[in-house]
Amino acid sequence: MIPEIQQLAYILATVLFIFSLHWMNDPKTARRSVMAGAVAMLVAILATWIDPHIVHHGWIILAIVIGLVVGVPLSRVPLTAVPQRTALSHAFGGAAAGLVGTAKYFLWLGEGPENLTTFRMVAIVAEIILGYLTFTGSLMAAGKLQEVRWIPQRPVVYPFQNVINIGLLVVAIVLGALLVMYPAEPWSGMAFLAIIGLSLIFGVLFIIPIGGADMPTVISILNSYAGLSAVAMGFVLDNKLLIIAGALDGSSGLILSIIMCKAMNRSFANVLFGAFGQVKAAVAKGEQKVYKQESIEGAAQFLEQANSVVIIPGYGMAVAQAQHRTRELYDQLTKRGITVKFAIHPVAGRMPGHMNVLLAEADIPYSALVEIDEINADMPQCDVALVVGANDVVNPAARHDKSTPIYGMPIIDADRAKMVLAIKRSKNPGFAGIDNELYFKDNTWMLFGDAKAVIGDLAKQLSGGGMGH
């Protein structure tokens, strides 16, 4: 009877998981997603727990309690820390898969080597390699994103790096193949541990050469690995639900990383093995051209006289936490009957959908957020394009200058607007480490300073100015 109930529960969970992801296709239904997902998870847990083989309930409860204690605070992190958190949870996921795989192997090795069928061994090896490399890899990624002191932000490169990395992986896989053929020899346990070790090391070396700002892409790739390790676990335990949920997770990671690479016009290979961030150091120097600055008052006037304003937020807005001030500015302008739109570039910020979340946090209606193609169409009619801490995503060089690393990346055509106001702190380049000719165009005026402060002043000026007249 119980196995039937369990399977039924797993089918239910499957259906709920699929709907959960399906409902994410529209913000209106999205809230349901979480409900569906959570219910599915609960059902699955309970269905598993009633298994008569389970006797040590204390252990389970303990682990769950600790999980809760750690999990809740992890969900309270500021939105700017979401990428790190995501990376961290991939690390946890990878670890879980790896550990279960390890436990299962040694269990069967001890209690019944005949259970170590070729098929299971393949699954186990896949599970641990993927699991453990995801573990360390994601930890590194989290570290880089959190800008932890002792983890180098810049790509660390050394000769034959890629060869060495791939080499490591190959060795691990070869060992795995051996293990598949001789699962229960005296030396098998050792080999197994060796594979674990190699995977852990590979995870680290795999991330080191990748620049901190490329982490988001890496994260979603690791995301799909975490999913695949879950699939492998499903094969090991002959558990369909694991396979399905893992496959769903895997495809999500895959698709997100593809989207990011497309939007950056870069290949997986370039992200993973290109040591991209380096370019920065190289190009960053040598800026002769002159910036035209503008005062808060002047800028406020320009905005006041405009009919249509397009605000182009970028990573800088996230860093400065300027979304709430931006909201105030938005209110001031709309109050004057000025149409204000936000131009959202797919890779503005440091993770997909980054800007959307921040602006949503500041209660800006998502009907005001416009995607790149749409906004570029009416850019020529735009009176003022206000660039808030965005750089690469508005760099016209992407359109014509083959030499720049961002060549070919679709950009928001701020330069086609009647005039441009750009907010940034310094003359430093953006993520891609290249000059932005937009800042030197005749109809571009700079507002140097921290985005939060500048926008705040603009808003105050307008509210004040508004009364003045």
Q: Which residues are tagged catalytic?
A: 392
> Which of residues 337 and 468 has its CB atom nearest to another protein in the complex?
337
Smallest distance from another protein to CB 427, Å: 30
Smallest distance from another protein to CB 460, Å: 25
Q: Applying CB under 6 A, which of residues 100, 141, 264, 434 lies at the interface with ligand NAP?
A: 264
Q: Applying CB under 8 A, which of residues 70, 190, 282, 377 lies at the interface with another protein?
A: 70
The region of 25-33, 58-66, 103-111, 313-321 touching ligand NAP under the rule CB under 6 A is 313-321
Q: What is the per-residue binding string for ligand NAP in 242-261, x denoting contact by CB under 6 A?
A: ------------------x-
Q: Does 224 bind another protein (CB under 8 A)?
A: yes
Q: In whole angstroms, how far apart are CA 28 and each of 31, 32, 366?
A: 7, 9, 11
Smallest distance from another protein to CB 61, Å: 10
Q: Does 281 bind another protein (CB under 8 A)?
A: no
Cβ proximity of 445 and 303 under 8 Å: no
Q: Does 146 bind another protein (CB under 8 A)?
A: no
Smallest distance from another protein to CB 182, Å: 12
Q: Does 428 bind another protein (CB under 8 A)?
A: no
Q: In whole angstroms, how far apart are CA 150 and each of 74, 143, 213?
A: 22, 9, 17
Q: Does 336 bind ligand NAP (CB under 6 A)?
A: no
Instruction: Report 437-456 residues binding another protein (CB under 8 A).
Output: none
Contact of residue 92 among another protein, ligand NAP, none (CB under 5-8 Å per partner type): another protein
**Distance (Å, rounded) from C-alpha 3 to C-alpha 8?**
8
Q: Does 282 bind another protein (CB under 8 A)?
A: no
Contact of residue 425 among ligand NAP, another protein, none (CB under 5-8 Å per partner type): ligand NAP
Query: DSSP assignment of 299-362, as one string?
Result: HHHHHHH-SEEEEEE-HHHHHHTTHHHHHHHHHHHHHTT-EEEEEE-TTSSSSTTHHHHHHHHT
Q: Does 423 bind ligand NAP (CB under 6 A)?
A: yes
The region of 40-48, 239-247, 296-304, 424-432 touching ligand NAP under the rule CB under 6 A is 424-432
The region of 112-120, 149-157, 184-192, 281-289 touching another protein under the rule CB under 8 A is 112-120
> Which of residues 136 and 461 has its CB atom nearest to another protein in the complex?
136
**Distance (Å, rounded) from C-alpha 155 to C-alpha 270?**
13
Q: Reduced to 3 states, what is the DSSP secondary structure of residue 222? A: helix
* Cα 451 from chain centre: 23
Q: Applying CB under 8 A, which of residues 144, 280, 325, 354 lies at the interface with another protein?
A: 354
Q: Does 216 bind ligand NAP (CB under 6 A)?
A: yes
Q: Applying CB under 6 A, which of residues 93, 203, 246, 316 lies at the interface with ligand NAP?
A: 316
Q: How many CB atoms lie within 10 A of CB 57?
A: 9
Instruction: Give the binding-site size for another protein (rule: CB under 8 A).
Output: 148
Instruction: Report 427-446 residues binding ligand NAP (CB under 6 A).
Output: 428, 430-432
> Tokens standing for 378?
């009416």
The region of 131-139, 198-206, 390-398, 438-446 touching ligand NAP under the rule CB under 6 A is 390-398
> Tokens standing for 3?
């196995």
Q: Applying CB under 6 A, which of residues 214, 249, 413, 415 lies at the interface with ligand NAP?
A: 214
Query: DSSP assignment of 125-166, as one string?
Result: HHHHHHHHHHHHHHHHHHHHHHT-TTS-SSPP--TTHHHHHH
> Tokens standing for 171?
């060795």
Burial of 252 (0-12, 13-18, 19+ CB in 10 A): middle
Q: What is the four-CA torsion angle of 168, 205, 77, 128, rounded to 10 degrees?
A: 10
Cβ proximity of 308 and 341 under 8 Å: yes
> Which of residues 130 and 382 has its CB atom nearest to another protein in the complex?
130
**Distance (Å, rounded) from C-alpha 179 to C-alpha 467?**
78
Instruction: Report 348-367 residues binding ligand NAP (CB under 6 A).
Output: 348-352, 354
Q: Reduced to 3 states, what is the DSSP secondary structure of residue 380? A: helix
> Tokens standing for 24?
């994410």
Q: List contacts with ligand NAP (CB under 6 A).
A: 213-214, 216-217, 260, 264, 314-316, 319-320, 347-352, 354, 389-393, 423-426, 428, 430-432, 450-451
